[in-house]
């Protein structure tokens, strides 16, 4: 389908802290459509590919250690402008600088434990969706209340 999609992942801190429902609800209430969802403990290979752009950064190893340390909730959300909007709902990378009302602004303190990942553009969204999901795991479906949303 041609509708815009983004990849979001609740990191192991978000899962361990019992924030999965809270976070899913924010995207549902906003009006985006969930088209794929699974929980997995990522392999090192997957984590290293996902964060490949950061491989020369000093925090890379610790980031990969952390993201592979427990279950992650991987998701694909769909809707008009969802890539940029999800980044806004997530808030700044540094939780202490993230605005109140954003996920990181409300629920996190530490940059290394900032609860959620979101694709930062169209190219990264399609790369990350393909990295984490098989095509068959992505569901094409219509919201039954489309008339209320002007989808």
Residue 106: contacted member of ligand UDP, Mg ion, none (CB under 5 to 8 Å, by partner type): none
CA atoms within 13 A on the CB side of 56: 1
Which residue's CB comes closest to Mg ion? 120
Q: Which does 111 bind (CB under 5 to 8 A by kind): ligand UDP, Mg ion, none?
A: ligand UDP
Task: Please spell the DSSP secondary structure of 57-110, one letter per residue.
Answer: STTHHHHHHHHTSS-EEEEEEESTTHHHHHHHHH--SSTTTSPBTBHHHHH---
Of 18 and 58, the one with the shorter C-beta distance to Mg ion is 58
* Minimum distance from residue 67 beta carbon to ligand UDP (Å): 8
Q: Which residues pair with 8 in a beta bridge?
A: 75, 118
State the minimum distance, in angstroms, from the CB of residue 151 to ligand UDP: 27
Closer to Mg ion at the Cβ: 26 or 50?
Answer: 50
Binding residues for ligand UDP, rule: CB under 6 A, are 54, 59, 63, 93, 111-112, 114, 117, 120
Task: Give the H/E segment covering residue 10.
Answer: strand 5-10
User: What are the structure tokens assigned to 52, written together?
Assistant: 């490949």
Q: Which positions ≥6 away from 68 have C-beta within 8 Å?
A: 41, 42, 43, 44, 47
Respond yes or no: is residue 54 known to be catalytic: no
Catalytic one among 50, 54, 117, 122?
117
CB of 28 to ligand UDP, least distance (A): 21
Distance of closest approach, residue 117 Cβ to ligand UDP, in angstroms: 5
């Amino acid at each position: 389908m041609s509708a815009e999609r983004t990849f979001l992942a609740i990191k192991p801190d978000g899962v361990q802290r019992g924030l999965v429902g809270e976070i899913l609800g924010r995207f549902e209430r906003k009006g985006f459509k969930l088209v794929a969802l699974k929980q997995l403990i990522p392999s090192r290979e997957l984590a290293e590919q996902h964060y490949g752009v950061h491989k020369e950064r000093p925090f890379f190893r610790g980031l990969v250690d952390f993201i592979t340390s427990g279950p992650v909730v991987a998701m694909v959300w769909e809707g008009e402008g969802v890539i940029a909007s999800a980044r806004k709902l997530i808030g700044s990378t540094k939780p202490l600088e993230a605005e109140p009302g954003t996920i990181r602004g409300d629920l996190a303190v530490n940059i290394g434990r900032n609860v959620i990942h979101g694709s930062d553009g169209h190219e990264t969204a399609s790369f990350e969706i393909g990295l984490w999901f098989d095509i068959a795991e992505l569901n094409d479906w219509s919201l039954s209340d489309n008339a209320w949303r002007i989808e």
